[in-house]
Amino acid sequence: MKLYIFFLTVIICTNTNAADIKKKRIDCLNLSQVELRNMEDKSDCIPIKKSEDYPAQPARPQPRIGMSSKAVLNTGWGEPRKINTTITASGSKEQWVYGDNSYLYFTNGKLTAIQY
């Protein structure tokens, strides 16, 4: 079985008989969309759904002030590269460091500042 991708269309070319492979070999990469549509014997090529046939994944929300650290992990920012923690008499403070010079600041587990 061979898998070919072109113009966001996936086609699987299947041949089980070795003699048929030599006789009816289809080079899907060299066939245009029109040629594939006009093929008389389409048994060798099975079209698969195009990527636009699948529903788009919903965008993950962005962090907002007041979110818990657990809720922020489920946003588009995800896991930080590094967490710097400071413990004081009034509680704990965290700086979450992301790779693109972006930072999130938490006080006692709640998001208090966003820097990007």
The answer to pTM > 0.75 is no
Among 27-41, 47-61, 87-101, the minimum mean pLDDT is found in 27-41
Tell me the per-residue pLDDT of 72-100, one tens digit each, with 9 for 90 and over. 999 999 999 999 999 999 999 999 999 88
Query: Going by C-beta distance under 8 Å and a sequence separation of 6 or more, which residues neighbour residue 62?
Result: 75, 76, 77
Return the pLDDT at 60: 87
Q: How confident is the model at residue 44 (pLDDT cuts 50, 70, 90)?
A: low
Provide the residue ranges of all domains of the chain, joining segments of one domain with +: 2-53, 69-115
How far is residue 66's CA from residue 57's CA, in Å, rounded to a whole number? 26
**Higher model confidence: residue 69 or residue 5?**
69
